[in-house]
Amino acid sequence: MLAQATNDRLYATERAVELKSSIQDYLDVEPEIETGFRQVKRTQINKMVILEYLGGSEDDWDKWSWQMKNRISNADILNDILPLNEIEFQDLRNLSKQFRWAISPYYLSLIDFENYRQSTIFKQSVPDIRELEEHNGKADPMAECQTSPAARITRRYPDRLIINVTNQCAMYCRHCQRRRNFGEQDKHARIDQLKEAIFYIRSNKEIRDVLITGGDALMLSDKVLDWLLGELDSIEHVEIKRLGTRTLVTLPQRITPELCTILEKHGPLYMNTQFNHPMEITPEAKKACDMLVKAGVVLGNQAVLLKDINDDPHIMKKLNQELLKIRIRPYYIFHAKEVKGTSHFITKIETGINIMEKLRGYTSGLAVPTYIINAPGGYGKTPLLPEYLISHAEDEITIRTWEHKVIKCSNKTYE
């Protein structure tokens, strides 16, 4: 028995060495991956530069109304704060005549000013000349206009739907699937439109799950948000409510004690956000998440797979691990949609599959989201997974593990 225990310990030790070696490539690069927590000093310096230019104070910085009022949406102002080269500056001036863009002072502070061309924050928020040159894709690839049976409603599934409440965001993502809705100014849904949406939900008792989104759901005032959530609470067959927001990423100052008091009244409430890179996970984002969790809000992340931003297994793994540390559950990785002007962000499907291969087994299952492609034409989310089932018989299946070991498993039932 002692000999067996010794052999077991020896095997376990050898296996531990083997397991560590399987992630050595990640361990080698992980210390060099930028995160918001690792770049606090640089971000603080940028913050001071921005505040000085805008004439703001530390107290101003922490107010979401000040952040929104001072969004940068002008090429000359951006160039004053973050000097661009002449070609990029002129390109941005021209692009500004064609495309709406805006970036909150907070999100701007996350850019590496000295290496902005490589910054994942810059690429997501500042227009690129390719947006004007690319003619692939469609304005509405998900056919949302054809899946709207009532004002502000998008319905693709049997028991759930979307209420689109605004076109406003703290920052207009360059890869956004609803670029067509940016318009020339911010517009919230009218109350009569929201009432029509509520009436539709009341009239369709199979609807048990409602997602409030936009734009960004948290761009609504506290008062309107409280009213809308209250209306949904009053509908007996609505079991859960969800909020779609990127303010945790681009404007964490929006998460105030007053907002959390409102959200706490309206559970069960789920909030899905979109962190795409570990650099976006900052102390400010953590503070916002802590407040939301305390208010009973359940947090999930829906990353978008974007070329030259997170199309790397190590980056995506670090992102998901950092999310768990601030109590956000990685939920989806979306394959980028074929929206006109965004094709420079789109990766091959194989890139996403490879990322999933390097997540499953190599990190906690909590850090493994589902890779999703949206079927064109509004036919909904379809999961894409590596193939783990090799063959299937009545009493036995053959699988491959995350380590590519081929193993037979019983498929029997017992009386």
- The number of beta carbons lying within 10 Å of the beta carbon of residue 134 is 16
Could you tell me if 346 and 369 lie in one domain? yes
Contact 302, 270 (CB under 8 A): no
pLDDT digits (tens, 9 = 90+) for 256-292: 999 999 999 999 999 999 999 999 999 999 999 999 9
Residues 367 and 394 reside in one and the same domain: no
DSSP string, 281-334: --HHHHHHHHHHHHTT-EEEEEEEE-TTTT-SHHHHHHHHHHHHHTT-EEEEEE
At residue 136, the pLDDT reads: 80
Within this chain, do residues 301 and 389 fall inside the same structural domain, yes or no?
no
Of 186 and 261, the one with more pLDDT: 261
Query: What 8-state DSSP symbol labels residue 363?
Result: B
Q: Specify whether 281 is located in the same domain as 345.
A: yes
164 Cα distance to chain centroid: 17
Q: Could you tell me if 245 and 276 lie in one domain?
A: yes
- The dihedral region occupied by 74, where left means phi > 0, alpha psi between -120 and 50, and beta the remainder, is beta
In a domain, 113, yes or no: no
The token pair that represents 189 in the structure block:
């849904």
**Angle separating helix axes 349-357 and 313-325, nearest 10 degrees:** 60
Write the CB contacts of 148 (distance below 8 Å, at least 6 apart in sequence): 154, 155
Percentage of residues in the chain having pLDDT higher than 90: 83
Residue 339 banded pLDDT, cuts 50, 70, 90: confident
What is the domain extent for residue 239?
144-383
Residue 100 lies inside a defined structural domain of this protein: no
AA identity, residue 64: W
In a domain? residue 46: no
DSSP state letters, 179-247: GGG--SS--BPPHHHHHHHHHHHHH-TT--EEEEESS-GGGS-HHHHHHHHHHHHT-TT--EEEEE--H
Q: Do 267 and 408 belong to one domain?
A: no
User: Do residues 389 and 371 share a domain?
Assistant: no
357 and 390 co-located in one domain: no
b/e per residue, 359-374, with b = 16+ CB within 10 A?
A: bbebbeeebbbebbbb
| Domain tally, the chain | 2
- Mark whether 344 and 408 lie in a shared domain: no
pLDDT of residue 411: 92
CA atoms of 394 and 410, how far apart (whole Å): 9
The token duo for 316 is: 């995506």
Average pLDDT, the chain: 94
Provide the pLDDT for residue 297.
98
Q: Tell me what percent of the chain is helix, strand and coil, each rounded to the nearest 5.
A: 45, 15, 40
- Chain centre distance of CA 114: 26
User: Whose CA is closest to 358, among 383, 350, 118, 326?
Assistant: 350
Asked whether residue 15 is domain-assigned, the answer is no
- Whether 314 and 398 map to the same domain: the answer is no
306: its two tokens: 């974007």
Q: Are residues 230 and 343 in the same domain?
A: yes
* CA 86 to chain CA mean position, Å: 32
CA distance 56 to 44: 14
- On whether the CB atoms of residues 307 and 297 are closer than 8 A, the answer is no
Cα angle 314, 246, 318; round to 5: 15
Under a CB-based contact definition with an 8 Å cutoff, are residues 47 and 109 in contact?
yes
> What does the pLDDT read at residue 375?
84
Give mean pLDDT, residues 368-389.
90
In a domain, 110, yes or no: no
Q: Does the pLDDT value for residue 144 go beyond 80?
A: no
Same domain assignment for residues 227 and 342: yes
Within-domain flag for 339: yes
Looking up residue 314, the CATH number of its domain turns out to be 3.20.20.70
80 in a structural domain: no
Q: 181-195, 312-326, 340-354: which range is least confident on average?
A: 181-195
Task: For residue 5, tell me if it sits in a domain.
Answer: no
The sign of the dihedral angle between the CA atoms of 232, 257, 224, 270 is negative
- Residue-wise pLDDT tens digits, 19-36: 999 999 999 999 999 999
Q: What is the pLDDT of residue 413?
A: 86
Average pLDDT estimate for 401-410:
93
**Polymer length of the chain:** 415
Whole-angstrom distance, CA of residue 151 vs CA of residue 164: 9
Q: Are 347 and 333 in contact (CB under 8 A)?
A: no
Cα dist. 17→11, 23, 358 in Å?
A: 10, 11, 18
The alpha carbon of residue 337 and the mean position of all alpha carbons in its chain are separated, in whole angstroms, by 14
- Predicted pLDDT at 51: 98
Report the relative pairing of strands 389-392 and 380-383 from DSSP bridges. Answer: unpaired
Torsion of CA 337, 340, 346, 350, to 10 degrees: 60
pLDDT at 412 > cutoff 80: yes
pLDDT at 132 (0 to 100): 84
